[in-house]
């Protein structure tokens, strides 16, 4: 099997044409990179997160894109939701741990006070 020696028309997921929003012109490469950054937990500055989510959402709303690009955008958004869920779950566990530590310290304090009597 021979592989093509030149890029196919339109590139390898690069520009999708003049009729698309400028943010979407980078195509599948950019979408996949953003999705990968989210999934792998790369540090993404807080001020860029809304723009990235808006971009991935824009990809999903753009008619005529390849299934691969749509899937990448959907995976990126799902990874974002999962990360937010995991962060919320962790915060809830930390809060529960703090409450349990406080209760344990209160019980230990009572036991110590009872032993001192």
* pLDDT confidence bin for 26, thresholds 50/70/90: low
Is residue 43 situated within a structural domain?
A: yes
Distance CA 46, CA 11 (A): 32
Is residue 8 situated within a structural domain?
A: no
CB distance 60 to 22 below 8 Å: no
Is residue 46 situated within a structural domain?
A: yes
| Total tally of structural domains belonging to the chain | 1
Looking at residue 1, what is its pLDDT?
43
CB distance 35 to 69 below 8 Å: no
**Domain range spanning residue 52?**
22-116
Is residue 87 situated within a structural domain?
A: yes
The tokens describing 112, both together, are: 């110590």
Percent of the chain at pLDDT exceeding 90 = 23
Is residue 58 situated within a structural domain?
A: yes
Distance CA 84, CA 87 (A): 5
For the entire predicted model, the pTM comes to 0.57
Report the pLDDT averaged over residues 85-94. 95
Structure confidence by residue, pLDDT tens digits, 27-41 = 777 888 888 888 888
Is residue 4 situated within a structural domain?
A: no
Looking at residue 7, what is its pLDDT?
42
Greater confidence (9 vs 76) lies with: 76
Distance CA 109, CA 104 (A): 8
Q: What is the DSSP letter of 3?
A: P
The dihedral built from the CA positions of residue 105, 106, 109 and 114, taken in this order, carries a sign that is: negative
Looking at residue 47, what is its pLDDT?
86
């Amino acid at each position: 099997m021979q592989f093509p020696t030149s890029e196919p028309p339109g590139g390898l997921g690069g520009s999708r044409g003049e009729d698309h929003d400028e943010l979407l012109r980078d195509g599948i490469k950019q979408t996949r990179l953003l999705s990968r950054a989210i999934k792998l937990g790369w540090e993404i500055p807080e001020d860029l997160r809304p723009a990235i989510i808006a971009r991935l959402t824009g990809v999903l709303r753009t008619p005529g894109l390849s299934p691969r690009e749509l899937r990448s955008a959907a995976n990126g958004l799902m990874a974002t939701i999962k990360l937010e869920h995991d962060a919320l779950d962790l915060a809830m566990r930390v809060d529960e741990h703090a409450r349990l530590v406080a209760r344990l310290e209160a019980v230990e304090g009572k036991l110590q006070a009872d032993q001192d009597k």
